[in-house]
């Protein structure tokens, strides 16, 4: 019983000594961290306001603001540790060793992060543009640090890891696309009349853009037919509806103008008795 009381008194005495020795420093360190938190928030708000003058992409602004806040917070953390009398060199060495191990374990994640930074700063495409890459295509919805999200014409979403994008062939259509419609007419018909009808159809469609100018002309000559190319420019979101409307209008206008589609080639069969 006496031993237990002695141990309790010794522990109490040790705790009081540590509180007297490190208590004020710990309080100051906590105050420094609190000040660092609010200072980081203030720097982030001011920095974000200043970046608004440069018209940067939203992911770039968000990244720079976060980096600025982390830098301020890290500075205050170092001040708090120094106030506690902690030697930072062994701590930095330990963090470096731990960071190397984490990097080896998270190669894929870090690869996506590096690729995301490359995309954000080189800007091969932007939000709202229509792109085609690595066998998929769609409109760019978001560009994040680890992945890029595309919206497809069938209302689905395609999420691509950024490391799959960097270094691959990328086709950026921008905000407009060119339709590629081919209409076959009989060689016996007046192709000038067919061209005029196709041009009228394109001009009458409100989705077809006047600039760039649509391309309408002969693109194919076959034995019994002539291919008419109808290639207007439309906005990305109008690509599907515009193609359907123009195809239907061409069928109706060609029928009204007496333009005949070429007959299928004769099929020859050899029947052996």
Query: Under 8 Å CB-to-CB from 64, ≥6 apart: which residues?
Result: 47, 51, 56
Task: Identify the burial level of 194 via C-beta atoms within 10 angstroms of its C-beta, where 0-12 means exposed, 13-18 middle and 19 or more buried.
Answer: buried
- Cβ atoms of 235 and 176 within 8 Å: the answer is yes
Q: What is the pLDDT of residue 77?
A: 85
- Cβ atoms of 145 and 113 within 8 Å: the answer is yes
DSSP letter at 264 equals P
CA distance 260 to 197: 13
> Which of 43, 234, 80 minimizes the C-alpha distance to 153?
234
Q: What is the dihedral of CA 154, 155, 159, 164, to 10 degrees?
A: 30
- Cβ atoms of 212 and 233 within 8 Å: the answer is yes
CA angle 140, 141, 145 (to 5 degrees): 90
What pLDDT tens digit does each residue of the chain (273 aa) get?
556 666 666 666 666 655 666 667 777 788 888 888 898 889 888 888 887 777 666 767 777 788 888 888 888 888 887 777 776 666 666 666 665 555 554 556 778 888 888 888 888 898 889 999 888 889 999 888 888 999 887 888 999 999 899 888 899 998 888 898 888 887 666 778 888 888 999 999 999 998 889 999 888 887 777 888 899 999 988 888 999 999 999 888 888 877 776 655 555 556 565
Phi-psi region of 68 (alpha: psi -120 to 50; beta: other; left: phi over 0): alpha
Query: Under 8 Å CB-to-CB from 202, ≥6 apart: which residues?
Result: 208, 214, 216, 230, 232, 246
Question: Measured on CA atoms in the order 183, 188, 191, 193, is the torsion positive or negative?
Answer: negative
Q: What is the pLDDT of residue 149?
A: 92
Q: What is the pLDDT of residue 11?
A: 63
Q: What is the pLDDT of residue 62?
A: 78
């Amino acid at each position: 019983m006496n031993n237990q009381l002695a141990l309790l008194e010794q522990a109490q005495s040790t705790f009081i000594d540590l509180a007297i020795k490190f208590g004020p420093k710990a309080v100051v360190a906590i105050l420094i961290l609190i000040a660092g938190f609010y200072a980081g928030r203030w720097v982030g708000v001011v920095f974000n306001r200043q970046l608004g003058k440069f018209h940067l992409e939203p992911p770039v602004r968000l990244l720079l603001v976060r980096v600025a806040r982390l830098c301020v917070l890290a500075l205050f953390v170092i001040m708090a540790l120094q106030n506690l009398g902690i030697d930072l060199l062994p701590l930095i060495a330990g963090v470096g060793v731990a960071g190397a191990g984490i990097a080896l374990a998270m190669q894929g994640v870090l690869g996506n992060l590096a690729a995301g930074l490359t995309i954000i700063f080189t800007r091969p495409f932007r939000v709202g543009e229509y792109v085609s890459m690595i066998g998929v295509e769609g409109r760019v919805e978001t560009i994040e640090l680890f992945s890029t999200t595309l919206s497809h014409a069938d209302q689905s979403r395609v999420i691509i890891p950024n490391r799959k994008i960097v270094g691959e062939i990328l086709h950026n259509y921008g905000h407009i696309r060119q339709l590629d419609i081919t209409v076959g007419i009989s060689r016996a018909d007046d192709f000038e009349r067919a061209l005029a009808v196709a041009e009228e159809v394109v001009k009458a469609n409100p989705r077809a853009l006047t600039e760039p100018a649509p391309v309408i002309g002969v693109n194919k000559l076959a034995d019994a037919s002539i291919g008419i190319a109808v290639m207007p420019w439309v906005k990305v979101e109008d690509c599907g509806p515009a193609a359907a409307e123009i195809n239907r209008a061409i069928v109706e206008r060609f029928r009204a103008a007496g333009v005949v589609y070429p007959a299928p080639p004769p099929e020859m069969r050899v029947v052996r008795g």
